[in-house]
């Protein structure tokens, strides 16, 4: 009963031609809005955090107390282009990649 009445109704040809273009643009609008929201909620903050981490790693200096990605705490004893030597105890040095440093601690944090 409902199906036969739905098939019986047709749109005029002139109105359908102009409406198809507009309906396709309106159909893409939610996709574009989702991408914009995704950019501002996820991509932009992640890029900002990566930029801050890069600046922190580049500004490392000898004597800085740092925490690494593995949870190791120590004092920077030597600096190289891509590696640092970290003194974790008196006389014990570990060599790490600069990118493994996650945080520079305030002076005097490590006893």
Statement: the pTM of the whole predicted model exceeds 0.85? no
Question: Is 61-105 CATH 2.30.30?
Answer: yes
CA distance 107 to 111: 10
Q: Is the pLDDT of residue 10 over 70?
A: no
- 57-82 confidence digits (pLDDT tens): 999 999 999 999 999 999 999 999 99
Integer Cα distance of 43 and 46 in angstroms: 5
- Tokens 């520079």, residue located: 104
């Amino acid at each position: 009963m409902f199906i036969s009445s739905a098939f019986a109704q047709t749109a005029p040809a002139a109105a359908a031609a102009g409406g198809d273009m507009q309906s396709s643009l309106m159909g893409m609008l939610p996709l574009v809005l989702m991408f914009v929201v995704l950019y501002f909620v996820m991509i932009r903050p992640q890029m900002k955090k990566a930029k801050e981490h890069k600046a922190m790693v580049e500004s490392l200096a000898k004597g800085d107390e740092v925490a690494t990605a593995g949870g190791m705490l120590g004092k920077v004893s030597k600096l190289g282009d891509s590696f640092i030597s970290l003194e974790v105890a008196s006389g014990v040095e570990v060599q790490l990649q600069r990118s493994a440093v996650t945080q520079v601690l305030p002076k005097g944090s490590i006893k």
